[in-house]
Structure 1
Amino acid sequence: MRKSILAAVAVLIIPLAAMAGQKSLEVKAVLAQQEQIKADVLAGQGRYASISAKDRETLLHRQQELVHLLEGKESTDELTEAQRVEAFNTLEWIEATINNEPDERMVCVREKTIGSNRMTRICRTESQWAEARERAREQLMRGGACTDLGGAGCTGG
């Protein structure tokens, strides 16, 4: 049992690490992994027994969206940057749900750099995004201007 859990976590981490580093990912392996997770979730045994019915339904729906996104592709190189970010975020959400750690899932967004038309990808955990939003809200309440959700560019007011 413990070996199967470790194997499942390793299977999740390897593709996520590859996607985070912008390396190509073999779609066939991701789809096989998701099919195995789906079967285990539907069986509701082991580590999947503690997933709530709502999270189980959402997980299966997100998997279906991921499969649709990857359908007909051999590699993540065939996806647009926005699609790669979407796939990465979906895989992170699935992993966090399975591990019951929703605040620790990685969420990436694409933003334009100030003064440029170039898009950059910013990745933070859900809890880091919430913390950045809270810092920005507090800064606005104090009357200061804050244009950086990360808080580094915020000054007192």
Structure 2
Amino acid sequence: MRHPFTCFALAFVLALSACAADAAKRKEHQNVEFSPQRFAEQRDTILESLHDETYTELTDENRSAVLAALARMEARLSGVSRFEDMDKRDQTAVFNDQELINNLLTQAAADSRLICKREKFVGSNRTTNVCLTVGERRRLAEAAQDQMRGLQGSGYLPRE
């Protein structure tokens, strides 16, 4: 018969290794500095990463904004080998689109980060791993606050 602590330690090590393996599969977000020569390669990298776990919390609206900015940049960069060859307005527009893409993807990557916590559920002494993204945790907290506000407004709970 195994000692209960040994079973717990084994389960804990397996849970940690599963979280580590999941984290290893995830790509890390990096800001992109666009250059006219490498734009197609960089665009393809971004389009590929939009469909994996790096940006799971990117909203449809922000995904559309990223795709539109990439299309605008592609139109302005076609036939250009250096930024200096571009009109100043086009340089500014490309820079602004680059900043928009970096800001949206940085926020989505931060919200897509997976956090695992060991939690005990009510009525149970067993702890389990609960893995949620930062965005999912924020949405759950907001839903709980809205529910509490609704109960306070209905008279079921006293107002503070």
For normalisation by structure 2, the TM-score amounts to 0.47
For normalisation by structure 1, the TM-score amounts to 0.48
The structure with the larger Rg is 2
